[in-house]
Structure 1
Amino acid sequence: MLATALLAATTLLLPIGARSTAHAATAYYVSTTGSDSNPGTSPDSAWQTLQHAADAAVPGDTVYVMGGTYNQKLKISKSGTSAGGFITFQNYPDQTAILDGTGLTVNESEGLVEIDSASYVRIQGFEIRNFTSSVRDVVPMGIYVNGSGNHIDLLNNYVHDIKSTAAVRSDLSGRDAHGIAVYGTEATAISDVTIDGNTLTNLVLGSSESLVVNGNVTDFQMTNNLVHDNDNIGIVAIGFEGTAPSNDQARNGVIRGNTVYNITAVNNPAYGKPVPNDDYSADGIYVDGGKDIVIENNTSYSNDIGIELASEHTGKATSNVTARNNLVYKNRYTGIAIGGYDSDRGSTIGCIIVNNTLYKNDTVGYEGGQLLLQYDTQNNTIENNIMVASSSNILIQNSFKKNTGNIVDYNLYYGPGGASGSAWVWKNISYGSFSAYKSGTGNDAHSLFAAPQFVDAASSDFHLASSSPAVDAGYTDTAVIGSTDIDGDARVIGSSVDIGADERA
């Protein structure tokens, strides 16, 4: 009884001038066997409905949801405060609280859990599942944050089986769903968003994405999430879709420490019928029109595209994005892509691709190579990357001539065709040897063609052996390489930075 009482009421200490509005932060409880006529302040007197708890909770309160299955929606429109604290909804410790949307109607664009223009809200530790619709232009979401607000934490949730099964129109529209979506739709941004430790899987997304920040969203972190086996994009930051009336561009964010795999559009009718189709265009990690973002220490494999920095909108750019210390391997079309996918798209400007390991991407024969430069790439830097070709022998693929000011150097290349049988395409000119490519383009003056000597690539161990030519062979620009490698080890241990995602200890 004593432990329950201590958990139920914790007094916040406030400055003297604020004591007239002080609130004793309260722990509330929701249970499948509870009643909304109960006080809700202990497991034995729990409420029954999530919405009743949301309507009652105030800054500093925590709502513990006991184990069980809740066939309920949860909509939060009340805010916590910086002084009073977060309004928190979380699973009761060591119990599995399941929010299940089976049979619930999806109204327009709606989350099973929804935060509407609220601040200082935390959602933690839930299983969120089975929110689906077969109606066109209706968008089910596991967690949906929209409007404006700040200090939103989405932590350690398991989101799965969120689906749109609607038939697409002839223009392939009408079928959309999201696992977790943050849409800044107002002139005031959604800011200070942390999305950490979530798992998102078995999502049927149509034209939409597993985990997305879109529109007027700033100062976000998408970290340590596991995203896999979904039929469209894994993690994405988006701009220029008309989501917000101003500042319509996700920005000032970090995408770090995530693992993304088995993301493919080939069974997605929103990309054309019949399925499976041949549209290998679903990214593991994507920035589409965002800016000022760091993508680091992620692992992206067995997707259609490992990482992409591009803009789908004419006259708009993805800019000032750094992709560093990522492991990108065995993706179907290409490892890392930049630039618009055709000449009606936008551009990639001032981005940095540094210290990544790209291994045997381009697995389906679409000749995307390890690095794909598409339409309108300007003033980007590509350095310190390991690129190992697949059986296609293509290392860099750049079939567009609109390519200006891009710097490519200090990379390590390797492939089954050797230095004289590998391919580089630059400004739509193909080079069949490393020496011809360097001479013809002026790129890679300090780069190497050599086996990188991984510890055990066959077992996906891409750490560098002590004898690797990548050790101490990179260009040490401390402003861009980051402080740690993909394992969290110091980024520079020897005389210079190592090439690739791993710094040999």
Structure 2
Amino acid sequence: MKRTSTLALTAALLASSAPLGLATMGAGTAHAAARTYFVSPSGNDSNSGTSTQAPFRTLQKAADSVEPGDTVSIMNGTYSERSAGSNVLTIKRSGLPGAPITFTAHPGHHPVIHPVKAWNGISVSGASYISIKNLEVKGNNGALTLAGAERESKKGDPTYNTNCISLEQDRATGALSHHVEVAGNEVHGCAGGGISAIDSDHVTISGNHVHGTSWYAVYATSGISVLTPRDVGGGDAGTYKIRITGNRVHDNETKIKWEKCGCYSDGNGIIIDTLKGDADHPAYNGRVLVANNLSYDNGGSGIHSYKSQHVDIVHNTAYANGRSTRMDSYANIFAHDSTDVRLHNNIAYGRPGQATNSKSRNVDVTYDYNIYFGGKAPEVQGPNDVIADPKFAKTGTGADADFRLSEGSPAAGSGTPFAAVTTDFTGARRAVGTPDRGAYGFGAKNSSSPGNASDASSPGRQGDAPAGSGQSAGSDPAASPGVQAGDGTDGGSGLKPQSASGPLAETGGSNPALPLGIAAVVLAIGGGLLFAARRKRS
């Protein structure tokens, strides 16, 4: 088997868990000199950039000018790299707790970040306390062809390997990217990965629409991927530090062989990759939440954990993934070679002949309260798992597909409470006692966009990318939204035991009691907090 890759939060939990210290903004925090910089293709980098009448021309000029608490307001237009092999936007300046640096669309505008021969549309390189919101990152797939990629895609050339958004380590300084929020963006058409977080920590990826990526890269990328995260500020298995919530992810597929093995791999919707560590990376000790996502019609898996630990995959809907005919079908939602992973309250609707889940090399991995339909029989089935038609409003892989639950759905009112997830894909409150399974709560309003908290083979390991490329990597051919919790830096109490009763299906090893809920965490910092001195402004 080969390797398979916002919701509106309740006000109280949002205040207790904002990943960038956003809860402290407007709460008495001292930050007097925050500025907004404006960018427009009709601007000039010699302008002050501080008004819509005198905007900068390039995103990079703004990124090189910001200080903690500042906002880069991006106006209408298309933004591409200034030279081949560069990034359209490289973010290296950091914000501070309670004073993130925000890159967002100007109100009422719809700018497009369009990498053509860039390694990345947006690269967060060793920066912290960064928010990227409400932008469109559109790759160059429309101008590329599969035949061209099969002839020309290779390491060291960004043409067929461009990522849309990448969070990564600064290769020059060794600084790690952390406390980064990527929320409410449309990310599509990149030949490489959609949104990737490599060697990063305290990351929130929520409410994004990620589609049509990974087609032509030689690095076996995916729609959303988390690879070898690094603990920043310590970590424990009872505290969520990485959250992948409320995203719509589809049409991501690898169509080019991975350069490391000469085989096809990945093209997953969402993958959590190598948290157990390897020869080059220490094990990651924080917890990861993957909740309320819609993942469908991807080449690889819908959602899976590979060589990972301390992961909760709950209340997701996966439909007709594993579409690639170039490799053995990956399952819709599963864990492989993983430890301490819970897969609960999900709906997995498979293609004919598609694998449903996996028990391969798992220890303390539990499947329960899931609904399976189509595909092969599950390898492992929890006592409350159900094999039945979930009765979606309209199945399909097109724009009109509707994965809400119809009357009589076995998913309605049959799930188990999970304290970390109190709302659904649309932001509607979930029932307290017996929530609905899947990403949508029964009766949810139709929504093509997820709720956005910031606006209110065997599965394998991703391989190494060329230095300076910003690339995520591929997988090992030998192996085949949620509510935010404390971030581990503010004394958060972490998770409470999950409230479900009864045994859970195990896929190996023992099943000691492990923490699974959320306790309120106080992140807000009192008024009068002094920040590092800002550069003198004119």
Give the TM-score normalised by the residue count of structure 2.
0.58
Partner residue in 2 for 1:224: 246
Whole-Å separation in 1 of the counterparts to 2:26 and 2:209: 34
Letter of the 1:294 partner, please give it: D
Change (3 A) 1:239 1:201: same
Runs (5+) with no aligned partner, structure 1: 1-9, 16-21, 164-176, 185-189, 265-281, 312-317, 341-346, 363-367, 374-380, 389-451
Alpha-carbon contact 1:239-1:289 (below 8 Å) kept: yes
Partner residue in 2 for 1:351: 365
Change (3 A) 1:111 1:485: closer
Alpha-carbon contact 1:131-1:141 (below 8 Å) kept: no
Alpha-carbon contact 2:276-2:283 (below 8 Å) kept: yes
Decide which of 198, 205, 211 is 1:183's aligned counterpart: 198
Letter of the 2:288 partner, please give it: G
Partner residue in 1 for 2:258: none
Partner residue in 2 for 1:492: 433
Partner residue in 2 for 1:423: none
Partner residue in 2 for 1:235: 270
Decide which of 318, 324, 340 is 1:300's aligned counterpart: 318
Please say if 1:261 is aligned against 2:296.
yes
Please say if 1:93 is aligned against 2:107.
yes
Please say if 1:200 is aligned against 2:210.
yes
Whole-Å separation in 2 of the counterparts to 1:498 and 1:70: 42
Please say if 1:140 is aligned against 2:162.
yes
Alpha-carbon contact 1:384-1:500 (below 8 Å) kept: no
SS in structure 2 at match of 1:287: strand
Letter of the 1:492 partner, please give it: G
Whole-Å separation in 1 of the counterparts to 2:68 and 2:420: 40
Deviation digits for residues 348-379 of structure 1, max 9, x if unmatched?
111121211112x21xxxxx32x135xxxxxx
Decide which of 331, 356, 359 is 2:351's aligned counterpart: 331
Alpha-carbon contact 1:355-1:501 (below 8 Å) kept: no
Deviation digits for residues 406-442 of structure 1, max 9, x if unmatched?
xxxxxxxxxxxxxxxxxxxxxxxxxxxxxxxxxxxxx
Counting matched residue pairs gives 353
* 1:60-459 matched pairs, under 5 angstroms: 60-72=69-81, 73-83=88-98, 85-102=99-116, 104=117, 106=118, 110-131=119-140, 134-138=152-156, 139-147=161-169, 148-163=176-191, 177-184=192-199, 190-203=200-213, 204=215, 205=217, 207-217=220-230, 219-231=241-253, 232-239=267-274, 245-249=280-284, 251-264=286-299, 282-304=300-322, 305-311=331-337, 318-334=338-354, 336-340=356-360, 347-359=361-373, 361-362=374-375, 368-369=376-377, 371-373=378-380, 382-388=382-388
Shift of 1:297: 1.5
Structure label with greater radius of gyration = 1
Letter of the 1:99 partner, please give it: I
Change (3 A) 1:504 1:96: closer
Runs (5+) with no aligned partner, structure 2: 1-24, 82-87, 142-148, 170-175, 232-240, 254-266, 323-330, 396-401, 444-538
Alpha-carbon contact 2:182-2:204 (below 8 Å) kept: yes
Whole-Å separation in 2 of the counterparts to 1:222 and 1:43: 34
Shift of 1:492: 2.7
Alpha-carbon contact 2:307-2:336 (below 8 Å) kept: yes
SS in structure 1 at match of 2:63: helix
Deviation digits for residues 209-229 of structure 1, max 9, x if unmatched?
111011024611111111111
Change (3 A) 1:358 1:464: farther
Shift of 1:257: 1.1
Give the TM-score normalised by the residue count of structure 1.
0.62
Shift of 1:13: 6.0
Partner residue in 2 for 1:407: none
Change (3 A) 1:257 1:11: closer
SS in structure 1 at match of 2:166: strand
Identity %: 25
